[in-house]
Amino acid sequence: MKPLLLSHYTMTSCIGRGLDATLDAIRQQRSGLAPCTFETVDLPTYTGEVPGVDSVLIQRELAEFDCRNNRLAQLGMEQDGFADAVRAAVTKYGADRVGVLMGTSTSGILQTELAYRRRDPVTGALPDDFVYAKTQNTFSVADFTRSYFDLSGPAVAISSACSSSAKVFGSARRMIETGLIDAAIVGGVDSLCLTTLYGFNSLGLLSQQACRPYDAERDGISIGEAAAFALLERVPVNLGENAVLLLGIGESSDAYHMSSPHPEGLGAKMAMESALKMAGLEAADIDYINLHGTATQTNDSAESKAINAVFGSYTPCSSTKGATGHTLGAAGGIEAVICALALQNNLLPGGLNTHEVDPALGVNYLLQNEERPITYVLSNSFGFGGTNCSLIFGRAAE
Amino acid sequence: MTTSTHREISTYVEGVGLRGPGFDGWASSREVLAGKALYQPQKTTFAVPELLPAAERRRSSDITRLSLATMLEAISAAKLEAASLPSVFTSSGGDGQNCHAINEMLASEDREISPTRFHNSVHNAASGYCSIATGAMAPSSALCAYDGSFGAGLLEALTQVAVDNTRCVLVACDTGYPEPLHSVRKIYDALGIALVLSPEQGAHSIAKITVSMTDAEADQLEDTVLEALRLSIPAARGLPLLHMLALKQPGKVVLEYLGSTRLAVAIAPC
């Protein structure tokens, strides 16, 4: 592929608003997970809730979009000067030449969950103030982003569960390469809701403590929420040496089971191999892998087998979900941003909460941060339905 | 915005699948859309998907069954193996029945939703089930752009064909919403369109289509009943393209996408 430049990016999660807070939390090895106090949820689990989402004010002309997911989206896009960078790109390219490709799994479903508690006792009707199209609908966060920046180009929500905001990079690449657009706002936003908390609970996949990816005693996920945004553009002639490039994307399907990964990690292996091929890199070139690492028995086992098959047991890797929780449709996006931070700060983040790496997994799992220059990193995102996506980012050559 | 500043993307259509109210496969629907047979609206039907393993078949919901039936029709018409084909699934909102059941449960005293309900709630449920049915390990995307979902899916599929130089099957499906959701999302029945797209002309090519962005007005269907259908089920926004394919004549059509951003499609039969 022709590399693309991540000209601007930002993330907001339970470990902090914006890049400085995020980097500080990574340096301090600080997790944002805490016992769940979200809404009326009565489950013994930990969540990665972003403080202050409820007090975000959606501007009046976009009031129909008001819901937790879009409040989190707005909070996220207003960090690190990201919104200003988008406006500059719109001025440069035109409102119809900047695409919007956003990943989400549950969008504003919380709004519907709350509306169902307020149904008319006689007719069963939903309350009049419930705006399905602009809140619950899966397109909502892409529509909101497009409206926020007053854009008139292509826009889409990509919703393939936990690979959603990794796959947006693939679709944006294709759209830019065809010349349909000159720049793309990509990212992912997912927010806490009852559907995912009670849903993962029904599958027995929620840990009762802060999740422990790749630990011998791992026992499930902690659900988090987050917003990640990146502006993708063609690589300019003059490029700073600290610039971060998108170099490869690999996508595949397990074709195995709706809620369990292929036990040998076959689809994951295909995704990583495709990403390496597209980037024109060998496995040995990758300096760090940001794992999908959800801390379920099956994910970490299947993923480690795929890692072993492609990389062997040497490549340093970790899951940052011990810090952020599993942010589902936003996971690919925030982990892409964490990879960009790793490249620009020579920082390999150690995984949190994990006490003893499961020896059966046979990977070089980092428990402590390591500081050294790195050039190429790979990020994995896999999801329900057997959807897999691997991204490769690199630091621009001198 | 003018179309001249926009890149055109071309692809060849090799197979079509169509199921909807009064549409029971492309062969008979083509006659209706070409004006050679009378349109007789009736509730959408689709078979139980034999390709799915028994457990998945039992758990699959209407949107999965419709997607699989429509997809397989298009792939079969193109004389291709489903197992090797990348796919793009697009839906204006996914499974309304399942969404209703989960929300009803979460608003009750007992919030223990079933695992099947939960994994069926993901927007890529149809994509996941279909890959299990066909054994396709190729990439599969799941998109949503509300009423513009057909256009968004068409763009995604086109860019895959053009950039990755691969065939691809586009599957655009919607199913009906029960009350009380129906009052806020008035989709009354199911409709699915599938298109197999190829970068090159082949033995089974039906037409070459060339797509670009436009702000020209969207085309309507002349038949008022069909036009009402086009407006009432989001996937049916693709029907004007199928109408042109059915006519087997060269022409142009503008499809709805996002507000005043629309897709101009030039059709040249092979």
Q: Report, as an integer, the average pLDDT of B216-223.
A: 97
The residues that bridge with B17 in the sheet, in sequence order, are: B194
pLDDT at B238 over 90: yes
Would you call A154 an interface residue with chain B, using a CB distance cutoff of 8 Å? yes
Are B122 and A161 an interchain contact pair (Cβ–Cβ within 8 Å)?
A: yes
Would you call A234 an interface residue with chain B, using a CB distance cutoff of 8 Å? no
What's residue A234's pLDDT? 97
Are B127 and A96 an interchain contact pair (Cβ–Cβ within 8 Å)?
A: no
Which listed residue (A14, A36, A67, A162) is catalytic?
A162
User: Which residue blocks in chain A are alpha helix, DSSP H?
Assistant: 18-27, 68-77, 82-93, 109-115, 140-148, 164-178, 194-202, 266-279, 297-311, 321-324, 331-345
Q: How far apart (Å, rounded) are the C-alpha atoms in residues A311 and A206? A: 29
* Predicted confidence band of residue A312 (pLDDT cuts 50, 70, 90): very high
The DSSP letter of residue A396 is: P
Q: Tell me the CATH number at B171.
A: 3.40.47.10
Chain B environment of A130 (Cβ under 8 Å): 184
Burial pattern A133-166, b for ≥16 Cβ within 10 A else e, equals: bbbbbbbbbbbbbbbbbebbbbbbbbbbbbbbbb
Q: How far apart (Å, rounded) are the C-alpha atoms in residues A101 and B159? A: 14
Q: How far apart (Å, rounded) are the C-alpha atoms in residues B189 and B215? A: 29
pTM surpassing 0.90? yes
Q: How far apart (Å, rounded) are the C-alpha atoms in residues A277 and A274? A: 5
CA angle B101, B105, B111 (to 5 degrees): 140
Chain B environment of A386 (Cβ under 8 Å): 128, 131-132
Would you call A91 an interface residue with chain B, using a CB distance cutoff of 8 Å? no
- Measured CA to CA in angstroms, residue B251 lies from B29, B36, B209 at distances of 19, 19, 10
Chain B environment of A157 (Cβ under 8 Å): 143-145
Q: Tell me the CATH number at A344.
A: 3.40.47.10
Sequence-ordered list of residues with C-beta below 8 angstroms from that of B157, at least 6 positions apart, any chain: B11, B88, B168, B169, B170, B195, B197
What's residue B75's pLDDT? 98
Is A67 a residue of the active site?
no
Which listed residue (A8, A67, A262, A292) is catalytic?
A292
Q: How many CA atoms lie within 13 A of A95 on its CB side?
A: 11
Are B156 and A143 an interchain contact pair (Cβ–Cβ within 8 Å)?
A: no
Chain B environment of A251 (Cβ under 8 Å): 139-141
Is residue B221, in this structure, part of any structural domain at all?
A: no
Q: Report, as an integer, the average pLDDT of A300-316.
A: 98
Percent of chain A topping pLDDT 70: 100
Q: How far apart (Å, rounded) are the C-alpha atoms in residues B183 and B196? A: 34
Say if residues A187 and A165 touch (Cβ distance below 8 Å).
Answer: yes
Two tokens at B88? 């793009």
Is residue B60, in this structure, part of any structural domain at all?
A: yes
* Predicted confidence band of residue A398 (pLDDT cuts 50, 70, 90): low
pLDDT at A333 over 50: yes
Are B102 and A195 an interchain contact pair (Cβ–Cβ within 8 Å)?
A: yes
Would you call A138 an interface residue with chain B, using a CB distance cutoff of 8 Å? yes
Which listed residue (A14, A67, A317, A326) is catalytic?
A326
Of A139, A254, A384, the CB nearest to B144: A139
CA angle B31, B34, B37 (to 5 degrees): 45
Chain A environment of B145 (Cβ under 8 Å): 139, 142, 155-157
Partner B, chain A 285-344, Cβ-Cβ below 8 Å: none
Would you call A125 an interface residue with chain B, using a CB distance cutoff of 8 Å? yes
Chain A environment of B56 (Cβ under 8 Å): 258
* Predicted confidence band of residue A9 (pLDDT cuts 50, 70, 90): very high
Chain A environment of B163 (Cβ under 8 Å): 173-174, 177-178
pLDDT at A268 over 80: yes
Q: Report, as an integer, the average pLDDT of B248-261.
A: 97
pLDDT at A320 over 70: yes
* Predicted confidence band of residue A240 (pLDDT cuts 50, 70, 90): confident
Of A105, A154, A270, the CB nearest to B155: A154
pLDDT at B6 over 80: no
The whole domain housing A87 covers 4-395
> How far is the alpha carbon of B173 from chain A, nearest alpha carbon, in Å?
15
* Predicted confidence band of residue B1 (pLDDT cuts 50, 70, 90): very low
Element (H, E) at B242: helix B239-247
Would you call A165 an interface residue with chain B, using a CB distance cutoff of 8 Å? no
What's residue B2's pLDDT? 37
Burial pattern A345-382, b for ≥16 Cβ within 10 A else e, equals: bebbbbbbbbeebbeebebbbbbeeeeeebebbbbbbb
The tally of domains found in chain B comes to 1
Q: Report, as an integer, the average pLDDT of A194-208.
A: 98
Of A116, A255, A257, the CB nearest to B106: A116
For B155-180, the pLDDT digits (tens) are 999 999 999 999 999 999 999 999 99
Q: How far apart (Å, rounded) are the C-alpha atoms in residues B209 and B270? A: 10
Q: How far apart (Å, rounded) are the C-alpha atoms in residues B5 and A394? A: 32
> How far is the alpha carbon of A147 from chain B, nearest alpha carbon, in Å?
11
Is residue B53, in this structure, part of any structural domain at all?
A: yes
Burial pattern B69-87, b for ≥16 Cβ within 10 A else e, equals: bbbbbbbebbebebeebbb
Is residue B113, in this structure, part of any structural domain at all?
A: yes
pLDDT at B190 over 60: yes
Q: How far from each other are the two terminal CA atoms of chain B, in whole angstroms?
A: 31
What's residue B7's pLDDT? 87
What's residue B220's pLDDT? 97
Chain B environment of A155 (Cβ under 8 Å): 145, 152, 258
What's residue B49's pLDDT? 85
Sheet strand arrangement including A223-224 = A34-35, A46-48, A223-224
Sequence-ordered list of residues with C-beta below 8 angstroms from that of A265, at least 6 positions apart, any chain: A302, A303, A304, A305, A306, A307, A309
> How far is the alpha carbon of A114 from chain B, nearest alpha carbon, in Å?
8
What's residue B214's pLDDT? 97
The whole domain housing B93 covers 15-204
The tally of domains found in chain A comes to 1
CA angle B100, B102, B106 (to 5 degrees): 115
Element (H, E) at B16: strand B9-20
* Predicted confidence band of residue B4 (pLDDT cuts 50, 70, 90): very low
Is residue B137, in this structure, part of any structural domain at all?
A: yes
* Predicted confidence band of residue A148 (pLDDT cuts 50, 70, 90): very high
So what's the ipTM on this one?
0.98
Are A198 and B111 an interchain contact pair (Cβ–Cβ within 8 Å)?
A: yes
Of B112, B115, B158, the CB nearest to A259: B115
Size of interface A-B (CB pairs under 8 A): 214
Partner B, chain A 248-287, Cβ-Cβ below 8 Å: 251-259, 266-267, 270
Would you call A40 an interface residue with chain B, using a CB distance cutoff of 8 Å? no
For B111-125, the pLDDT digits (tens) are 999 999 999 999 999
Q: Report, as an integer, the average pLDDT of A347-360.
A: 98
Q: What average pLDDT does chain A have?
A: 97
Percent of chain B topping pLDDT 90: 94
Is A292 a residue of the active site?
yes
* Predicted confidence band of residue A241 (pLDDT cuts 50, 70, 90): confident
pLDDT at B199 over 50: yes
Is residue B195, in this structure, part of any structural domain at all?
A: yes
Sequence-ordered list of residues with C-beta below 8 angstroms from that of A81, at least 6 positions apart, any chain: A8
Element (H, E) at B130: helix B125-134
Are B123 and A159 an interchain contact pair (Cβ–Cβ within 8 Å)?
A: yes
Is A355 a residue of the active site?
no
For B141-158, the pLDDT digits (tens) are 999 999 999 999 999 999
